């Protein structure tokens, strides 16, 4: 039996284990109520999350930081494009499963263009041709078909998930071009590609996790709420109903219309409900747009310099949160809440390194 065949058996075993866990988790759906935010096995999830976090801090995060420091931005962008492209057939498949025929053909065209003209996916040629990038998965398909999301789950290594999204492990694996490539390349190359994929994914999440570590009193709850919000955003294609039927949070938990927006398509920033209510009551009207957060000033200055090279003027500001000192890279201007939210969204779209960009009230800026 070849190494690749062994790898296939391991992948199928992993998928089978995931499906077994799915069946077990279905038993928990009846326990998943708005009162526990679809998290009936929270003690187990918290333990798994703690293990994942320990592994990340000891191994993955230091390696990823070195990768971010040593790898040129153009190469990092090419690596991200490469992995996005070869996993893109999962989006194409779920386009058609959700009845989005036109989008499905366009996304298949995007895959073909980037796989050929785009040098195997290293260059995103398709976006420049007007072929927009989408994000669809089998969890979203099940939501469109009317399946409830069920219990919140934390998987070892893979992190946040839900009962409904769990079957996507199978579809995303079987539609991943690199999975099939592993049958024809050497084990060493397969391991290298897999390791680099995890480092790339961790690199893209670095700013967001730094933001979570800085802002969240309870990182577990912060991550859970943000994950559910993001999933609702994807399921509704960015057009979240004013009161989503799957929304377990009270509307006034998220402050006033400055954050909600009338008919706003973008998701609410993942702040704690308590913080949002406090800001709404205080009448704050001047907001900073924070681009990233760092525990070390040198890292913040490096980020500021990289942004300056791209024509984005930013400053480094120190803040004390929960007894810890952080260094935020932010735009120097102050904005209204609506403009700040849009600026943060624009920054996230502009650069992969700014996926954690967020707006926060300026101290002492009353309404």
Domains present along the chain, CATH in parentheses: 3-204 (no CATH), 207-361 (3.30.70.1070)
| Integer Cα distance of 108 and 143 in angstroms | 22
Name which residue leads in pLDDT, 212 or 352.
212
- Which pLDDT value is given to residue 354? 73
Whether residue 217 has pLDDT greater than 80 = no
Instruction: Read off the DSSP letter of residue 218.
Output: S
307-334: pLDDT as tens digits? 888 788 889 988 887 667 888 889 988 8
pLDDT at 110: 97
How far is residue 133's CA from residue 36's CA, in Å, rounded to a whole number? 35
Q: DSSP assignment of 177-214, as one string?
A: HHHHHTTTS-HHHHHHHHHHHHHHHHHHTHHHHHHHHH
pLDDT for the residue numbered 338: 79
Q: What is the pLDDT of residue 194?
A: 94
For the cut 80, the answer to whether the pLDDT of residue 203 exceeds it is yes
Whole-number Å distance between alpha carbons of 353 and 342: 17
Q: Mean of the pLDDT values across residues 187-191?
A: 93
Nearest-angstrom CA–CA distance, 346 and 37: 30
Name the more confident of 361 and 353. 361
Give the tens place of pLDDT for each residue, 39-94. Answer: 999 999 999 999 999 999 999 999 999 998 899 989 999 999 999 999 999 999 99
- The chain-wide mean pLDDT, for the chain, equals 78
Give, to the nearest 10 degrees, the angle between helix 206-215 and helix 219-235. 130
- The answer for residues whose C-beta is within 8 angstroms of residue 174's C-beta and 6 or more apart is none
User: What band does 13 get if pLDDT is binned at 50, 70 and 90?
Assistant: very low
Choose among 362, 219, 343: nearest CA to 286: 362
Name the H helices within the chain: 3-26, 42-55, 61-70, 73-86, 89-97, 101-116, 125-128, 138-144, 168-174, 177-181, 187-204, 206-215, 219-235, 257-260, 273-282, 297-309, 337-350
* Residues 234-255, mean pLDDT to the nearest whole number: 55
- Residue-level pLDDT at 105: 97
Tell me the C-alpha distance between 359 and 215, whole Å: 12
Indicate whether 115 pLDDT > 70.
yes
In whole angstroms, give the CA distance from residue 355 to residue 235: 19
Convert the pLDDT of each residue in 132-185 to its tens digit: 999 999 999 999 999 998 999 999 999 999 999 999 999 999 999 999 999 999
pTM check: above 0.75: no
């Amino acid at each position: 039996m070849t190494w690749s065949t062994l790898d296939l058996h391991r992948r199928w075993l992993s998928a089978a284990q995931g499906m077994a866990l799915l069946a077990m988790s279905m038993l928990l759906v009846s326990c998943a109520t708005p009162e526990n935010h679809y998290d009936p096995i929270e003690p187990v999830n918290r333990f798994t999350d703690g293990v994942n976090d320990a592994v990340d801090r000891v191994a993955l995060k230091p390696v990823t930081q070195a990768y971010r420091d040593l790898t040129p931005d153009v190469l990092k962008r090419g690596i991200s494009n490469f992995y996005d492209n070869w996993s893109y057939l999962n989006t194409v498949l779920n386009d058609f499963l959700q009845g989005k025929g036109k989008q499905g053909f366009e996304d298949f065209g995007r895959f073909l263009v980037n796989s050929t003209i785009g040098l195997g996916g290293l260059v995103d040629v398709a976006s420049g041709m007007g072929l927009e990038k989408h994000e669809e998965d089998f969890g979203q398909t099940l939501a469109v078909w009317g399946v409830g999301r069920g219990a919140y789950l934390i998987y070892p290594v893979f992190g946040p998930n839900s009962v409904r999204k769990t079957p996507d492990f199978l579809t995303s694996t079987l539609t991943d071009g690199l999975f099939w490539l592993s049958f024809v390349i050497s084990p060493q190359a397969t391991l290298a590609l897999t390791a680099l994929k995890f480092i790339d994914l961790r690199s893209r999440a670095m700013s967001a996790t730094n933001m979570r570590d800085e802002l969240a009193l309870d990182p577990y709850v912060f991550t859970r709420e943000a994950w559910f919000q993001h999933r609702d955003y994807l399921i509704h294609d960015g057009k979240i109903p004013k009161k989503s039927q799957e929304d377990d949070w009270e509307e006034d938990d998220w402050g006033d219309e400055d954050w909600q927006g009338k008919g706003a398509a973008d998701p609410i920033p993942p702040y704690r409900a308590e913080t949002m209510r406090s800001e709404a009551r205080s009448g704050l009207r001047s907001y900073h747009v924070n681009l990233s957060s760092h525990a070390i000033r040198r890292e913040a200055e490096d980020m500021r310099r990289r942004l300056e090279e791209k024509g984005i003027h930013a400053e480094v500001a120190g803040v004390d949160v929960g007894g810890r000192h952080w260094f935020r890279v932010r735009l120097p201007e102050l904005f209204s809440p609506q403009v700040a939210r849009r600026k943060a969204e624009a920054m996230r779209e502009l650069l992969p390194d700014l996926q954690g960009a967020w707006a926060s009230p300026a101290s002492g800026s009353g309404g």
